[in-house]
């Protein structure tokens, strides 16, 4: 009999915990660590360490719930794309190795400008709780960043290391943004 009471008590506590989680607006703890862990559990592509690093360094993270952290991820995407544009402009101010590289850099500058806008639109979608639009625009931003690498491939050149790095960063933050947004809607 004692064993049944313990089992019943455990089941009741588990049910209460589940009910509390379902009643919370985001169903996830409001820290970058717990939110990134939940996002990584939901989507294998999420790099947990990257997620925590990027989200926890944002000024809005300390007070954010999962919905706020989804917006933080989109905002980090805006900053990532902006940093890529900044680096590309610096590269364009120097003589490039060849005409193909210069054309690829020009194309990448335009692509990262568009990626920054797409991340900003993802932020706006998440803010108005249009989660499908937010996730779609984050995916668009990642696609635009990938097209930069393709521009270099067509030119028969390798992208400079900083341009490659921004491509990886943009892809990862888009995955994080999509996964965290999926936790809330």
Average pLDDT, the chain: 87
Residues 6+ apart with CB under 8 A from 162: 87, 91
List pLDDT tens digits, range 58-73. Answer: 999 888 999 999 999 9
- Which domains, from first to last, does the chain contain? 26-184 (1.20.140.40)
Longest dimension (CA), the chain: 83
Minimal CA–CA distance to 173: which of 133, 137, 125, 128?
Answer: 137
Which sign does the torsion angle of CA 84, 87, 93, 97 carry?
Answer: negative
**Rounded-to-integer distance, Cα 148 and Cα 163, Å:** 8
pTM of the model: 0.83
Which DSSP string do the residues of 118-169 spell out, in sequence order?
HHHHHHHHHHTT-HHHHHHHHHHHHHHHHHHHHHHHHTT-PPPHHHHHHHHH
- CB–CB of 43/182 below 8 Å? yes
List pLDDT tens digits, range 128-156. Answer: 999 999 999 999 999 999 999 999 999 99
């Amino acid at each position: 009999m004692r064993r049944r009471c313990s089992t019943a008590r455990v089941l009741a506590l588990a049910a209460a915990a589940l009910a509390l989680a379902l009643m919370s607006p985001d169903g996830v703890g409001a820290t970058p660590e717990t939110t990134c862990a939940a996002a990584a559990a939901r989507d294998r592509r999420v790099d947990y360490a990257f997620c925590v690093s990027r989200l926890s360094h944002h000024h809005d993270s300390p007070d954010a719930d999962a919905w706020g952290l989804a917006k933080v991820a989109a905002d980090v995407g805006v900053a990532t794309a902006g940093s890529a544009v900044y680096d590309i402009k610096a590269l364009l101010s120097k003589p490039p190795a060849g005409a193909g590289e210069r054309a690829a850099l020009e194309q990448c500058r335009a692509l990262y400008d568009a990626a920054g806008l797409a991340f900003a639109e993802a932020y706006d979608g998440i803010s108005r709780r249009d989660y499908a639009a937010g996730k779609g625009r984050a995916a668009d931003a990642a696609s635009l960043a990938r097209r930069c690498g393709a521009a270099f491939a067509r030119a028969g050149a390798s992208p400079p290391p900083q341009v490659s790095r921004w491509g990886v960063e943009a892809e990862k933050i888009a995955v994080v943004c999509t996964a965290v947004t999926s936790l809330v809607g």
